[in-house]
Every structure is written in C-alpha cells, then in structure tokens.
A and B are shown apart, each in its own frame.
Chain A
Amino acid sequence: MKKQFNPERSRGAKPKVAFFDFTDCEGCQLQFANMGQALLEVAGLVDIVNFREIMSEEGQDYEIAFIEGSITTDKDVTRVKKIREKANVLVALGACATIGGVNGIKNRAPLELAKERVYGKKSDTINTINTMPVHKVVKVDYFIHGCPAYIPEIITVIKCLLMGRPYVLPNYAVCTECKMNENVCRYEKDQECLGPVTRAGCNSWCVNNGNRCYGCRGLVDNPAADGQKDILLKYGLKLEEILQHFTLYNDSMGEKYDQAFK
C-alpha cells in the first residue's frame, strides 16, 4: 500500500526517504552526503530511513525513493519496479539513473560479446541486459542529472519535492550558464566541448573548474546536431570521434541520440 505523500502535511510529520543503488559508483549518493550545512537542514525536513553510505539501518518503510544507477539486469528490473510500487515519489539521481550514463557503453557491442569481454568463461552464468535509465522501466517523478549530481541542483529538487511541485529541467545548453560565468570558451582553446548540446542545470560546473563538458546531463530536447557536428569537424575531429564523444554518457538514450547524431 502506498503511503500518501502530502506536501501540506502538518509540521513534525516528516516524509520518509530511502536511497537505493543499482549499477553505479555511488558517487551521487556521496554528493548527497556531502551537502554540508544543507544536509542538516534537509535532515530536519525529511526522515532518512535507508542510506547505506551514511547509516546502517535499512528501513523499508518510505514514501520518497532516490534511485542511483542504471538498470542492467533482469533482477534490477524487478527490484526497481518493487520500489516504485512502494514509493509515492521516485527520484532518479545522477547520470546512470537519468540517462544510463557511462554504463551505456555496453550497449555499443552485442550483449553476448560484451558479456564475454567482461566475464570471459564465466559469462554463461551472468545475467545482463542492455543498460537502461530508470525511466525506461518505471515512472520517474524527478530527474537529477549529472555525473556526479550537482549539489545545488539536488537541493533545488528536494525543495520542489517537499513543496509537491515538479522540477522543470532547463531546456537550454550548458553554454548559457557557462557564458554567464564568463568562462573562456573551450573552443577558444581548441578543445572540443559538448556544452552546446548538453542540458544546462549544472551551472557549467566542469568548465568553471578548467575542464570541458562531457555531456553527462544528457542532451537538450532538440539538440542542434548539424551545427554541433559542423563545429567538431571544423576542429579537426573525425565523425567516429565525434560519435564517441556523444555516446560517452548518452548511448542508452537510444532513439533520441540516434536521430540526432548517427
């Protein structure tokens, strides 16, 4: 039976929150645990009942479930469906959960070949399926993109879910935020960058710190594939390399990516 999640609840009755991880590195949960002062404030608003990284209890009574990681086995499918049945609100946390993430690399090779490469002779005993983001299996209420998730965005999403309102993802490019931060464009330094087609919301975190954008937040709704390919070709990249850039995080997004870039 689902517990009714009511954002207008009386003070004191805190919603119970649980964290679950699938195929991932647990880095996004670590981001959550690293929120600092805000974590204390959040802890005052919700009851964390299950969070392997910060506590030993494993409460199974929850209304809000944070899912980290992508779905890569039949067992995962069953498990995430069970969590969805129980949880009133389900949050996909981090690139693996929202777009499949780097685990999607597996999808590039036929499944049998991938299995053999990784597990060698034992591959027969391993169950594995193509990498899927969580929303390909169950309904997701909130997406927190990023590898790892960006702490201010985690906090924004928590506020939204406590207010009972949807979190509307930005549908513009990372460049928009990057320019507002007045970074020197990576292209200015002859580095390729996926900022122009990647969904904003991270406040151009990587570029602010001297890195380039790898597209970990997935593509904007309508990426300008022609324009972006032209740019990369101009910078001397081969089509093959361009595709590798685009697939690093986005491979399991299937059709959308195929249409746009293949």
Chain B
Amino acid sequence: MIDREILLEKMKTSPYKPMRGKIIEARMLTDKEKFFRIQLEGKINLGHEPGQFVMVSIFGYTEAPISICSSPTDKGFFDLTVRNVGVFTNKLHTLNKGDIVGIRGPFGRGFPIDHMFGYDIVIVAGGLGIVPLRSLIRYITHNKNDFGNVWILVGCKTPAELLFKEETEEWMERSEIKINCTVDRADADWHGNVGLITTLIPGVDINPARTYAVVVGPPIMYRFVIAEILKKQIPEYQIIVSLERRMRCGLGKCGHCQIEGVYVCQSGPVFNYAQLKDFKGECHEKAV
C-alpha cells in the first residue's frame, strides 16, 4: 500500500502534473488498436481497481483518459490498449518501447469487486468494451476462487477486430470460465457465432439474484444488452456498466464528463443500472 500513498501524495501536491511512465512493451493488436505496457518511475504499482482509468499525457498533445486494461494483480506495470481515433491517439500510436509518456491517476470508481465476491459473473463486451473489462477478467482469473461461475460474452464487427486473441484462447481453455464470441460479419476462418451480442444472452443459464452482469461497449449497445439482461431478472443494481465521456482533468472539475449533475471521472466511469435509471435524459446508454 506504500505505492498508493506515494501516488496520493503526488496528487495532493500537484494533481495536474503527470508522472513519468516508460513504455516497456508496445504492439499493434489489430490495425486500429495498439497495446502498451507501462512502468512508472521507481517501478511503483499503480494500485488501481479494475475499471479505473489514467490520464495519459504526451507533451505538446495534452492528455486523454485511457482505461487500464491490466489487473492490479499484475505487478510492476500496467497495460493500456488504445484505438487510433484522433490527434492524441494518433500520436500515441507512434510511440514504442522505451518512449516516455506522462501518467496521472488512477481515477474514478472501478468495478465493485468487493460486492461481486461469491457471485456468478456475466461479462458482456462489445467492441472496445473488452479493454476495460480485461482488467476485471484478469483479476477474476487471478482470484477465481472468490467468484462463482463466470461467463464472458464478446462481440465485435468482424473477426479481424477481435482484441486479445491469444488471451481469449487461453481463457477458453480454462474450465471454470465459459466464453462465447460473436461477430456481426464472419470471414472464411471464423467458426464461431454470427450475429449481435444480444443473441448470446438468452443462452446464459444463471440464478439472477446471485449474478452480477458487467456490460461495456459502445453507447448504442447498452440499451439493447441491458434490455436482454433485465429479461433475465438480474436486479438493477447488479447490472454494472462503464461509460465513456470526454474528460480533461479527471478530478471532477473541468466539467466535460458530466452527465447531468454527476462527474463521470469521479463518480464513474463504472455505474450500476439503478444509478443510470436516475438520469433524466442525458445518459445515452440508458435503456428506454
């Protein structure tokens, strides 16, 4: 916990100043997403909760919020996976092993792991949603005896877009985790399901009261997936989501990430569906 104190102290004296983070591994996962493994100065551990994010700085390009995709049980480093979508991420993609980035964080609330102990877990990942969920999946695989049955449902547009392929295959080999993938459009090599991710949900056999569903994906996906999950009678506060918003500070000040009165960077990005339901109209992810 010493590392956590160092981080908190840094935050207190200058929460806007990033720490030095060295890229110790970098590789393309698909043609749009790049994976980075980062080591902080003094090799201190980030000590994050699965589902939290960091603000990554590249001087001259400011900052962007990036989900952490490794588990706190992965010591000495943390992982990020970034899609190339704008000026900042475009620059980030040019960086490689040995390059330095600035890191602030971890920020926000992660997945409520403590509440999830002893429960069955259904993880639903759409597209890039697998990135923050990887932190949870890795945490669960490292602490499997704390959880009940685990289902992982992964969906993306094409097989080429599937992230963490090798890891997914490893997860598939583990007997205590059930994993199911689907693509919108198959190619010649694809032998799995074809269709929207919602089609995988009815097939999951669960005891709703003893189950947490964790859903992360593009905004449009939530309302359909959540509607399917609600049909399974899982209580609203056991349906967990993680929301993407524009963020500039991570400290609950700059205002960009607000959904109505809530700062996503501090109160989120992880919410349960009961919280989502309270929003009056600014939450696109809410089922109508």
Contacts and interface: CB of A to CB of B under 8 A. Distances in A.
Q: Quick check: do A and B touch in the complex, using CB within 8 A?
A: yes
Interface of A: 163, 165-166, 168
Interface centre among A163, A165, A166, A168 (most CB of B within 10 A): A165
> Dominant SS at the A interface?
loop
Contacts of A168: 87
B60 interface: yes
Contacts of B237: none
B277 interface: no
B61 interface: yes
B284 interface: no
Interface of B: 60-61, 87, 91
Contacts of A165: 60-61, 87, 91
A160 to B, nearest CB: 9
A7 to B, nearest CB: 10
Contacts, number: 7
Contacts of B87: 165-166, 168
Contacts of B61: 165
A163 B61 CA distance: 10
A166 B91 CA distance: 10
A168 B91 CA distance: 14
- By Cβ-Cβ distance, the 7 closest A-B pairs, closest first, are A166-B87, A163-B60, A168-B87, A165-B87, A165-B91, A165-B61, A165-B60
Contacts of B91: 165
A107 to B, nearest CB: 33
A165 B90 CA distance: 9
7 contacts: A163-B60, A165-B60, A165-B61, A165-B87, A165-B91, A166-B87, A168-B87
Contacts of A166: 87
A115 to B, nearest CB: 43
A168 B61 CA distance: 11
B252 to A, nearest CB: 23
Contacts of B60: 163, 165
A163 B94 CA distance: 13
Nearest to B87: A166
B56 to A, nearest CB: 16
A149 B61 CA distance: 23
B121 to A, nearest CB: 41
A240 B61 CA distance: 44
B90 to A, nearest CB: 8
A163 B58 CA distance: 12
A163 B91 CA distance: 10
Nearest to A160: B60
A152 B91 CA distance: 24
A233 B91 CA distance: 46
